[in-house]
Structure formats: structure tokens, C-alpha cells
Chain A
């Protein structure tokens, strides 16, 4: 099932991309150098095709109440234009997906899900919709998503020919807010959201107009250092920013609080929501928690490598994502470790293919952007 390709596929081929299978999609993994793409996002800007993401429109008089029931957050509390990171839980408190929800009006929300979870998310939402006066529309096949990320993102969008009619000027658009705009005659939603730890925007547009928008953004951005960036750099960027990736840090077997996402769950909201009872009972006392690990040298721990107490024979944890950090220059990893080993400053060891590498527990994120908009 790896034959799906983005509406921008030919654009990527022309730009010399290498492709990888991601959740059944052929998506660009890199164009030339994943390190150069990573650094471009930290210092200038990168443009990502994330059209594989799923978009589900929830609309109707009960849309807000429905989302308060179906998701872990209080979506009814966000204003028109605002976005919120949320979780779709199962009855036992496990995570079906992590999502971003944009409020599109009093009675309309756009739910953005991971490509690999499109069908489980649609199925879960459909199951939960019965008692509500609203409708669900899976628009994933009709909407493309382009992310422009990096300190020069705003300048690039403002310089992009044809991109006009911003409801809120970009200079005033706050983090995790969105605004309507137009690209020529076509409607665009511009969210100040992203998955890189930098300032940036995500642009939702009709699939058949995505290639023209990409080209226009590239024309405006190239002189400012904008480069096309693939999923390899997207992964190291989000890892440095301490952002979880479904299937690595999040799963059906993970409680939100273990992943440090307790703040996303609105246990104080009125009324029931799916997963509430399990979350109130809490995860088992011995549940592992997500931590950051840093090491010296160049050898990075990677997903599934075991973590030990110094000299220990029994593992106290396992890495979920890891890499030699391109920005920081040393190895970083996220890992689930036993609570007793989770305090910042704890010294642990990673088994890197048979040899032990010392690592220290640090608070997440590894990297925080400095204010360098230009």
C-alpha cells in the first residue's frame, strides 16, 4: 500500500527528491542533504509537503460539544481561528492519534490527523458522533498541506505573489492561531503552526492548486534561503524540539501523562469524554515516563535501543527516537524510562549495538528557538 503520492509529486521529482514510504505514501525523504535542509529551517526557512496528513471537517450545531466528548481537550473553549493540539483516546486511555484542531466558525472545526491514522481517526469519530447533531467529512483527498518553517517564514509568505487577503496580518497572527487568505481566487487557511520548533506556517489549499502555491512560495523564498525539505529533516527538527511522533512516543499503550501530555487532557471539563474514566484511574504506578537523554560523542541511541542504570543488567527503559542532533552536535534521544530513573540529571547508559554509552536525563525540549524573526 505504498502507491499513494502527493499532488506535489512531480514538483518533488523535478527538484531531485529521494522518496520514502510513509504511511503508504511516497513522500520526499530529502532533496539533496537532510543536514542542509535541517540547518536551513533553523537559520532561514524550509518548505515541506505534508499533503499526506488527514483533514476531517466537523460541522453542525453540536460540533463543539461533539469534540469535547470525542477528544481529550476542551475544544469548545477555543475561538474562531484558534488552533489546539489534542488527543484522540480510546476507552482505556490509550492514544489513537494526536491531532491539531482549528476552529473554522461557531459550528465548524478542521481536525488534522496523522496520515497513518486517518482511517482509525475517522472510524473513532464516526462511532462517537451518534448522539450529536453534526456531520463529519473526510476531506483528506481534496486538501493539500504545505508547511513553511523557519525564522524567515513570515517574510516569505508576505513576499509570495498571489497570496493575499489575510484576515489577520501575519505580523499579528499568534502562535497556534490561523487566518483565512486567498491564493489568486482560491481559499487558503494559514495556520501559525508546525512541527519543527521554529516559527512557521502551515497552508491548507485545494489539492489541484498546491503545485502553483508551492512554486509561488519557492519563487518568493529562494532569495531568502528557502529550500525544499524532506521527512528526514522534519524528523530531526521535531526531535530536537521534543515533539512526539505517533508510533514512536505515542501509541495505544501510552497514557497521555506518560508522554508528558497531561496538560492536553482537560480533566476539569464538564461532561464525559472518551477515555476519562481510565485517565482518572491513572496509569499503573510503575508506568514509564518519557524523558530526554543526551550523550557525549557521536554515537546516537536509536528507536528500540535499551536504556540501563550504570552497570545494570536489567533495562530501565527504551529509546523511542534518537539521532545525532544536527543543531546541537551531540546525540539526543527520547526514551521511556522507569519513574525512579526519570529525574533530570540522572545518569543512565544506552546500549548502542553492544557497547554502553553514558547518557544524562534532561528536560525536554532539547532545542528552544531564540527570537530571531527577520
Chain B
């Protein structure tokens, strides 16, 4: 079980787990729940560079489309092929198997703490 309090968050409902210079990024359970059943995930290619706050992927449910924003500047070093093949992992395990991309970064921007994020969602 992921320790949610150890993660960082964005106002766009991503979570970020920092391990050295690599950030693993996913969307929160709150975001997955709001989207409903996720049926399609489009992720950035490995090797592409991403800029904080820009749209780098899409998460589609039957009802709507959510955008994946890069939470850091850096280079995509891994994309989760398992969620591309089985998008429902984002619903069933958003903080674990439903992770989306890993980004290698030089500097971590200001991100939200668990308490700040939960204050934002009111849950």
C-alpha cells in the first residue's frame, strides 16, 4: 500500500513520487473516481521532454476526457505500457499499478503536500 502522505500532488490531480532524480507520476483516486471508468490512456513517448504545466497525455473515460499535465520539467524515461493495454488499472489501483509515466528531472518545482491536496479536494 502506497503511503499517500509521502507523495506530492498537483492542483491538476496528479500525484508525484520522487525517487532520486526520477518522478513517478499518476492521477489521484479522486481524479479517477471523477472520470469514471477509464477506457483509453494516451501517454508521452519515452525520450520526449516535458514542461511543467503542459498537457502531455490524455485519460479518457466513457463520459469524459481528462488531461495529464507534466508536474515537472524533464525527460520521460518510462511510460506504463500496462495502463495503455489495461486502462482500468487507473481506476483499480491509481497510486500503484495505475502509474502513468516516470520523468527524470533536474529540479523539483513546488508541489502540494498530502494535507494541501486533500484540503483542495475537500475529501
Decide whether A and B assemble into one complex: yes
Chain B positions within 8 Å of A372 at CB level:
none
Instruction: Kindly list chain B residues whose C-beta atoms are within 8 Å of the C-beta of A136.
Output: none
In this assembly, does A232 line the interface, its C-beta being within 8 Å of a C-beta of chain B? Answer: yes
Q: How many angstroms between the C-alpha atoms of A22 and B52 in the bound complex? A: 35
* Beta-carbon contact of A302 and B65 below 8 Å: yes
Q: Are the CB atoms of A33 and B37 closer together than 8 Å?
A: yes
Residues on A facing B (Cβ under 8 Å) = 18, 29-30, 33-36, 38, 232, 235-236, 298-300, 302, 323-324, 326, 353
Verify B40–A35 contact, CB threshold 8 A.
no
The answer to whether B78 has its CB under 8 Å from any CB of chain A is no
Question: Do B63 and A34 have beta carbons less than 8 Å apart?
Answer: yes
The complex places the Cα of A367 from the Cα of B33 at a distance, in Å, of 28
A34 touching B40 by the CB < 8 A rule? Answer: no
Task: Give the most central of A29, A35, A38: most B CB within 10 Å.
Answer: A35
What distance in Å separates the Cβ of A2 from its nearest Cβ neighbour in chain B? 16
Q: A35-B39, A298-B39, A298-B40 in contact; A18/B33 too (CB < 8 A)?
A: yes
**Most chain A CB inside 10 Å of its own CB: which residue of B37, B42, B58, B64:** B37
- Chain B residues near A298 (CB-CB < 8 A): 39-40, 60
**B91 lies within 8 A of A324 (CB):** no
Say which size band chain B's interface belongs to: 10 to 19
Contacts A33-B91, A302-B65, A353-B65 given; indicate if A232 touches B60 (C-beta within 8 A). Answer: no
Closest-by-CB residue of B relative to A300 is: B60
The chain A residue sitting closest to B41, CB to CB, is A298
Distance between Cα atoms of A236 and B63 in the complex (Å):
8
User: In the bound complex, how far is the Cα of B39 from the Cα of A34, in angstroms?
Assistant: 11
Instruction: Mark B38-77 against chain A: 1 for CB-CB distance below 8 A, else 0.
Output: 0110100000000000000010111111000000000000
Q: How far is the CA of A33 from the CA of B92 in the complex (A)?
A: 10
Taking CB atoms, residues of chain B closer than 8 Å to A236 are 62
Instruction: Using A30-B36, A324-B39, A353-B58 as known contacts, say yes or no to A232 and B91 having CB atoms under 8 A apart.
Output: no
27 sample A-B contacts, Cβ–Cβ < 8 Å, listed by A number: A29-B36, A33-B36, A34-B36, A34-B37, A34-B61, A35-B62, A38-B62, A232-B36, A232-B62, A232-B63, A235-B63, A236-B62, A298-B39, A298-B40, A298-B60, A299-B40, A299-B42, A299-B60, A300-B40, A300-B60, A302-B64, A302-B65, A323-B62, A323-B63, A324-B40, A324-B62, A353-B58
